[in-house]
Structure 1
């Protein structure tokens, strides 16, 4: 991955839910203040039900940015749903000749997984739709630091569910629901020896349990090097309560393993969503004073 320089072009496309050009203005202003030239894709402003245009338009828009060597990074405008619908029809041949960071989170987890399977790094980070959100300053700054090659070190406070230890491995993960749905597809990958991070939004607690059971039965949790749990936001329950919150569910399904586990890491659907490079080797240290994550 090449660091960005002032004057470089960064594209904004929407691989999933629709966005307006007005909703992109805050992010455009910030990116321009960093010295970057912003190129808007045809999907910005496109409207097809809840999507940013039909599958063909979203696929062609992303493909054009993947193929264009003058584009040095690609920001996905927002999540929602729809990225997985276009993955299997993308051609990464020209992208492989001039790799660039693809940035986003939530539904974009499917694209991160696909890129990791192909051998490329990508960036799990705040998306343009969320730049105006109150409290997002640290998330935006972490994106800038990674794009321009600044050193990154993250800390998380102590959490009573943490399991102490130190681990090294490639960092993978993202949205639990998306990772769950790509198991068995061509975007799926081996979790063994990896440091996995998970986050999710607006799920029923029994869904969280069901997905953790599935990941565990598929062997995804057994051979991790380490586990990082981020935001589990706006969880829902049934009339008859499930009886455990999201963190308690995750602790239950990982209790028999020995790798370090960090809970309450600042990644996910809250405003404090720090940028993480998927596919890059990291060192995770979980101890009595909290957790620390550093790139190696």
Structure 2
């Protein structure tokens, strides 16, 4: 069954910034608010911004109620998650998407927000895996912010990726699914666990030990998440950690070891994840991945 795409944003639309995970102050969000306003949008800062409960944007109920309010408010046409960190899995089961289902709107974020990307896809709705307001003015990230704007406003997007020695050649067509590897493992077996068969999976992560990346790939493989993929995009694996005795493989080599045996096309080095180059991907949108000797490209069908 095809996924549902929210209507593209238009100048004058109202969008909300919320903190379903880690906290963010109004001062930290001011530059992003200015950018969004320069796009012609009106910005609402939710009740979970500028408050804190330890590292969270308020207690669980504060974050849940704020997100629910933005889901249910018909004047809000997109919900931008301020930052990731951790916290979204703590509130996801308390959210009611019944009103949202009748009037879908864009939800955007990455990292811990993979929870929402996957949960919405499980419910049949598209969302955006992309740069968050806290990173809007990260040095070198202007192209990422522009890719988010294009996704929100429904403008055509096509990505080209340089050749990589580990690439597996071929062409694949399927809906995009994925995000943060550790979150995808955490969601396995939950109400937010969405199927990967016939889809193009994309992966990224940060600060993970190499043996842990291997363990998570074993888990994805054993649960059948890899074998029936249409294709795979391998993004940034930022700042990987190692033990005193070296693990002996890079994150890309670990992923290739498990995914490469199935024969579907694989493009390494896709600019998605915890780096300034974090291009927006629309989860649930059908895309075509073409991997050739000269490089790879991804375009929506």
The residue number in structure 2 matching 1:20 is 25
Deviations 1:40-61 (A, max 9, x none): 0011111100100000000000
Check the 8 A contact 2:175/2:287 in 1, yes or no.
yes
SS of the residue corresponding to residue 12 of structure 1 reads strand
Distance 2:8 2:197 in 1: 29
The residue number in structure 1 matching 2:3 is none
2:135 to 102, 114, 130: 130
TM-score w.r.t. the length of structure 2 is 0.98
Q: CA deviation at 1:255?
A: 2.3
The residue number in structure 1 matching 2:54 is 49
Q: Is 1:65 aligned to residue 70 of structure 2?
A: yes
Distance 2:163 2:95 in 1: 42
The residue number in structure 1 matching 2:220 is 215
Q: CA deviation at 1:289?
A: 1.3
1:256 to 234, 257, 261: 261
Distance 1:62 1:15 in 2: 7
Residue segments in structure 1 that go unaligned for 5+ positions in a row:
none
Comparing 143-152 with 205-214, which one deviates more in the overlay? 143-152
2:116 to 106, 111, 115: 111
After TM superposition, what 4+ stretches of structure 1 lie above 6 angstroms from structure 2?
Answer: none
TM-score w.r.t. the length of structure 1 is 0.99
Q: What is the total number of aligned residue pairs between the two structures?
A: 296
Distance 1:182 1:144 in 2: 28
Residue segments in structure 2 that go unaligned for 5+ positions in a row:
1-5
Q: Is 1:145 aligned to residue 150 of structure 2?
A: yes
Q: Is 1:4 aligned to residue 12 of structure 2?
A: no
Q: CA deviation at 1:122?
A: 0.3
2:194 to 189, 193, 210: 189
In the TM superposition, what are the counterparts of 1:259-274 in structure 2 within 5 Å?
259-274=264-279
Distance 2:151 2:217 in 1: 31
Distance 1:255 1:279 in 2: 23
